[in-house]
Structure 1
Amino acid sequence: MQSKEISVENTMHSFETERLIIRLLEQGDRGFFVSLYTDPKIMRHIGEPFSDKKAHSSFKTAIKLNTETPIKQLLWGIIDKSSKEICGIQNLSLHYEDKRVAEAGLILARKAQGRFYPEEALVGMVNYGFTQLGLSSIYAYSSVRNRASKRVVTKAGFHQFDETESKISFKIESE
């Protein structure tokens, strides 16, 4: 199968859901990004919290990746429409060998948890990936200890296809 390359110029890269605006990360999101990735409680099911230096470096890389052609990864800020505040970050990382396959990720601030924002944001991103980016399938992974993530990806339409001692693997395919 030939790999379809996706051009940044061919897509808008922002979308909305009922309660959320999803737009590419901006320079002004740096403090929020760093606060999420350095917070031990938020990172507990993802990995070791980043040092400030690593978080700042990762943010710089994220901003750069959002402008590259062909697309390798897109990172979006999740904005609460009512408060106009950023409350999370989500991303799609395209597979190296097949650019029609991507991996989804999502991280949410504590203040936004318990409001069903992750389900809404993930469904919006999946729809965007299939309709605007032409993806054929999207994968998501979760720690086996993270019951909330399992619930979110399942409610978003993903199906579990593998489980190891530490990780659960999910997949959703375009129709």
Structure 2
Amino acid sequence: MAGDLYTPRLHLRPLEPSDEDLYCRLYTDHRVMRHVAPPLSREAALRAFGLVLRRQVIEPPRSRCWILVSREGGDALGLMAWLPDPDEPGSAEVGVLLAARAQGRGHATEAIAALADVVFAATAQRRLWTRHAPDNGLAAGLMRKLGFEPVPEAVDGPAPLRWQLEREHWSARRGTVFAAPPATC
């Protein structure tokens, strides 16, 4: 699963040391981070980038991160992360962070669908989950489009909204909602 993934418009390649500038630009940009968290300082983003790189090589994996690259122009559009839940085996969080110019164009839909195809093909993975700020309507629409279901929360206030997607639900939906699964290598 740590390898490249392909969709009709995207090449998702594993994060590598040369992606430091892109990673830091995303995490320090207030337009990108407005529905996620306060932007990081450049120094905090550099530390986080180093940690992500180190976690990618640990087995069993603590996380995987891919860069979303346009297959048409070769532009790096953002990143996607998969983080296994240490408290719930078979469950993992997924998140996508897109450059402001790439938001609202279906890239996150393609990337998460490609990841769901791959991780749900593995028998140990049974659930993906995600979260977003309550005022992020684009993220809520994305979750519904992909078939994620809201997770009821007992917390009031600005806590993130959580969504989950079970393997069985994805398998039943996949053939009717999207085109054939992307090729992976």
| Aligned with residue 101 of structure 1, among 69, 91, 104 | 91
Bigger strand fraction: 1
Asked if 1:57 corresponds to 2:44, the answer is: no
TM-score by length of 2: 0.84
Instruction: Give the superposed CA RMSD.
Output: 1.5
Alpha-carbon distance in 1 for matches of 2:123, 2:76: 24
Equivalent pairs: percent with the same residue?
24
CA contact (8 A) 1:144 1:165 kept: no
Bigger helix fraction: 2
Q: Secondary structure at the match of 1:150?
A: helix
Aligned residues: 165
Asked if 1:75 corresponds to 2:77, the answer is: no
Change (3 A) 1:12 1:40: closer
Paired residue type of 1:165:
G
Paired residue type of 2:80:
Q
Give the aligned partner of residue 35 of structure 2: 45
Give the aligned partner of residue 146 of structure 1: 136
Paired residue type of 1:170:
W
Alpha-carbon distance in 2 for matches of 1:64, 1:20: 25
Alpha-carbon distance in 2 for matches of 1:44, 1:15: 28
Unmatched 5+ residue regions in structure 2? 169-185
| Aligned with residue 114 of structure 1, among 104, 109, 122 | 104
Q: Alpha-carbon deviation of 1:23?
A: 1.4
Q: Alpha-carbon deviation of 1:115?
A: 1.6
Give the aligned partner of residue 170 of structure 1: 163
Unmatched 5+ residue regions in structure 1? 1-10
Q: Secondary structure at the match of 2:49?
A: helix
Question: Runs in 1 of length 4+ with deviation above 4 angstroms?
Answer: none
